[in-house]
Amino acid sequence: MLPVQRLLALLILAQCAITASLSPRVVHESRSSLPTGWTPARRADPATRLPLRIGLAQSNLDNLDAYVLDVSHPESPNYGKHWTPAQVAQAFRPSRDAVDAVREWLMEEGMPPEGVKVHTGGGWVQVDVTVEEAERLLSTEYYVYQFGDGEGRSSEHVACKEKYHLPEHVSKHVELVVPTLHFDVHVKRERVAEKRSGSKNMGQSRSGIVNPKFIGEIETALTELADCDKQITPDCLRALYDFVYLPVATDRNTIGIVEYTPEAYLDQDMDWFFGNYSPSQVGQRPALVSIDGGYDQTLFQGFSVNGEADLDLQYAMALVGATQNVTLYQAGDLYEGASFNNFLDALDGSYCTYEGGDNPEYDSVYPDPYGGYTGKENCGTAPLSNIISTSYGATEASYGAAYTQRQCAEYGKLGLMGVTILYSSGDTGVAGNGLCLNADGTESSSGTRFDPGFPGSCPYVTSVGATQIQAGSTVWDPETACGQYIYSGGGFSNVFSTPAWQASAVDDYLAKYPPPYASDVFNASGRGYPDISANGLNYSVVVDGTLQLVAGTSCSSPVAAAILSAVNDARLAIGKSTIGFINPTIYTPPFMAAFNDITTGNNPGCGTDGFAAAPGWDPVTGLGTPNFPKLLALWLALP
Ligand SMILES: *[C@@H]1O[C@H](CO)[C@@H](O)[C@H](O)[C@H]1NC(C)=O
Ligand SMILES: *[C@@H]1O[C@H](CO)[C@@H](O)[C@H](O)[C@H]1NC(C)=O
Ligand SMILES: *[C@@H]1O[C@H](CO)[C@@H](O)[C@H](O)[C@H]1NC(C)=O
């Protein structure tokens, strides 16, 4: 070796030493407990080979809000100039810097350059290492964990203990490294599900709690507007929200409803409902978009697997009318089901291929290792709809901040593409999915802090709460917050701060109607939800061949979607854009005045009365229910 080369080599080594010492190792991810049923069995054999995959962080996410507002704020010169999927993919793809930082670090650590592979799309870097090398790279210890269900079934999984580290300058470019802390919990889930229901109900939705509340069977269908307090029908909703509209741009307009298998509608339920309330639609069905093997299963039937889908589709389809097709996104197979992320992966290939993301603790992995759907995970294959309504929900606390933030950003990207995302706000008031928070942030039924729902707490989602007609009142009287059978989910996020477009509405509420709670009960600086509301009590729905009464924000979301879809139709018909992400628009004073303000009722939970509805925005009914003609006129006047 020539001295010059030797010198260069020394310099390079010195350089590495400097980089390494300048960049201390930081904890990149940690977990406080193991998933139930798993115990450490032994240290992993140091010679075992691991395919280490490093998921890179998306770039530019700190600009997301500015990009979204630029096309969604009614005063922006670029209002309505939504981005194409390709523009979105390009703007957020992991940066060259991220790829370089990870690659250089691996080489400094002695990995052979030819062993370090960057995958197409640039979302992740892979290197095959031994357990010993992985322990050194990540300053962690790998164990073999064992799962046993006490019935002779067991499984093993290699994972690291408690936490792993990355150099600080690498950590900021990385979303996560696998295999590390994450458990592929399919074994556990499947076995537990089988055990619980005696192998009968293998299907399970992974996306939060489903199901409207079952109230009772209906003996006589009431069809007079005077009876809308007792039974809600499509005509009641048209009268309540002055919603009369004949679509004219059905060749361009789209609206989608999301269902998670095993939830499924039944053909005969649709036809009976249409026969009662919208005869011209008998025989009509939603257009199925299957995601990860999703289909309308009929193996399992009952209110818990048909109630939600029947409700959502019967009302969305009846309200948009016979000429507007409704897309049904049916997500997940019968074994694993699907999560919100599985659905989002199917809508947006750039979210899917960016490998940092899905967490097998919450998200299903396809092909399904247990049979069911053996195809590849759907990735960017599902067409977007202009409005997408989902009546499923979970809580922020059940996922954790990093997971909710990543998913929320994806809702923002859909807004950037002109899609309106609606989620029901939840049916248990301030107690998200019926639980409350303890001081340490865990959920329990004895917690005393309000437990925000998710995805409704994500600012890029339009969260829909529930109202009701007061007993003995009519469709022409003011509604109140739903106070029978269910309470409208609402409150303030612990993860997302109050967005600028909402700040004055929230400040007004907190100043004029200060909730009587200590500061640790709810987070006054969080994003307030819901944004809007619609009737959610005593809907007449056909489920499993019987006419039933149901309640819930599950009713409210598809109804709001159908009304907003008519606004899209009218705008598309005159060559304007879709309404896209509506929140910055609806919190402006003219739009606020175009909602029927709900000023009575509340949303109890966690041993309290919850929040009180009040004039203006409130964390029970949002801005109120839609006044369709007023909203339509305002939206038609926007560019
Ligand atoms: C609605 O869906 C049906 C069946 O898929 C299709 O034949 C029809 O062309 C669609 N209508 C519009 C307006 O897209
Ligand atoms: C909703 O239906 C239930 C069951 O029939 C009934 O008891 C209740 O009074 C109804 N609610 C209103 C507001 O009429
Ligand atoms: C309150 O919300 C903010 C976001 O605005 C968050 O950073 C903070 O941690 C939350 N506080 C609590 C106690 O959850």
Ligand 2 atom at shortest distance from the alpha carbon of 538: 1
Phi and psi, residue 105, nearest 5°: -60, -45
341/363 Cα distance (integer angstroms): 6
**Residue 31 class from Cβ within 10 Å (0-12 exposed, 13-18 middle, 19+ buried)?**
middle
Residue owning the nearest CA to atom 2 of ligand 1: 325
pLDDT tier for residue 1 given thresholds of 50, 70 and 90: very low
CA 285 to chain centre: 25
Give 177 Cα–ligand 2 centroid separation in angstroms: 53
CA–CA gap between residue 327 and residue 317 (Å, rounded): 10
Question: What's the pLDDT tens digit per position in 612-623?
Answer: 999 999 999 999
Q: What is the DSSP track for 204-268?
A: --SSSB--PEEEEE-SS---SGGGTTT-B-HHHHHHHTT-----S-TTT--EEEEEETT----HH
Query: Rounded to a whole number, what is the largest CA-CA distance in the chain?
Result: 97
Q: Which atom of ligand 3 is nearest to the CA of 523?
A: 1
Mutate to test the pocket of ligand 3, among 437, 497, 498 (most ligand atoms within 8 A of CB): 497
Gyration radius of the chain over CA positions = 26
> What tokens were used for 291?
């995601």
Q: How far apart (Å, rounded) are the C-alpha atoms in residues 160 and 144? A: 8
Residue 289 CA to ligand 2 centre (angstroms): 36
Binding residues for Ca(2+): 597-598, 616, 618
Instruction: Give the distance from CA 553 to its chain's centroid.
Output: 15
Instruction: Report pTM.
Output: 0.88
Q: Which residues are catalytic, by number?
A: 308, 312, 554
Out of 10-24, 187-201, 295-309, 529-543, least confident range: 187-201
The pLDDT value given to residue 2: 43
Structure confidence by residue, pLDDT tens digits, 288-311: 999 999 999 999 999 999 999 999
523-547 per-residue burial string, b: 16 or more CB within 10 A, e: under 16: bbebbbbbbbbbbbbbbbbbbeeeb
Domain 191-637: CATH superfamily is Peptidase S8/S53 domain (3.40.50.200)
Which residue owns the Cα nearest ligand 3 atom 8? 494
For the CA of 527, the nearest ligand:
3
Say how many Å lie between the CA of residue 311 and the centre of ligand 1.
22
Residue list, ligand 2 pocket, CB within 6 Å: 215-216, 229-230, 468-469, 471, 484, 538, 549
Find the ligand nearest to 491 CA.
3
Name residues whose C-beta falls within 8 Å of residue 379's C-beta, 6 or more positions apart in sequence: 345, 346, 349, 352, 353
What crossing angle do the helices spanning 303-320 and 267-277 adopt, rounded to 10°?
40
DSSP secondary structure letters along 542-590: EETTEEEEEESHHHHHHHHHHHHHHHHHHHHHTTPPP--S-HHHHTSHH
| Interior/surface letters 130-162, b for 16+ CB within 10 angstroms, e for the rest | bbebbbebbbbbbbbbebeeeeeeebebbbbbe
DSSP label of 612: B
Q: Which of 380, 478, 465, 468 is nearest to 428 (CA)?
A: 465
Give the pLDDT confidence of 175-221 residue by residue, as tens digits. Answer: 888 888 876 444 333 333 333 333 333 445 566 666 899 999 999 99
- Looking at per-residue confidence, does 626 or 57 come out higher? 626
Q: What value does the mean pLDDT take over residues 442-459?
A: 95
Instruction: Give the pLDDT confidence of 43-84 residue by residue, as tens digits.
Output: 999 999 998 988 888 889 999 999 999 999 999 999 999 999
Between the CA of residue 433 and those of 33, 349, 421, 453, 483, what are the distances in Å? 22, 30, 20, 7, 16
Give the number of the atom of ligand 1 that is nearest the alpha carbon of residue 323. 13
In DSSP notation, 380-444 reads: S-SPP-SEEEE--BEEHHHH-HHHHHHHHHHHHHHHHTT-EEEEE--SBTTBGGG-EE-TTS-EE
Nearest ligand (C-alpha, residue 526): 3
The kind and range of the H/E element at 197 are none
Residue 283 Cβ inside 6 Å of ligand 1? The answer reads no
Taking the domains of the chain in order of start, what are their residue ranges? 4-58+93-183, 191-637
On the question of pLDDT at 413 being above 70, the answer is yes
State the pairing for strand pair 154-160/142-148: antiparallel
Averaged pLDDT of the chain: 89
| 8 A C-beta contact, residue 147 and residue 187 | yes
Confidence band for 475, pLDDT divided at 50, 70 and 90: very high
Q: Is the CB of 251 under 6 A from ligand 1?
A: yes
Residue 467, strand partner residues: 481, 535
**521-544 average pLDDT score:** 98
Q: Is the pLDDT of residue 241 over 70?
A: yes
Which pLDDT score is estimated for 36? 65
Q: Are 487 and 603 in contact (CB under 8 A)?
A: yes
Task: Determine whether the shortest distance from the Cβ of 526 to ligand 3 is under 6 A.
Answer: yes
| Tens digits of residue pLDDT in 590-599 | 999 999 999 9
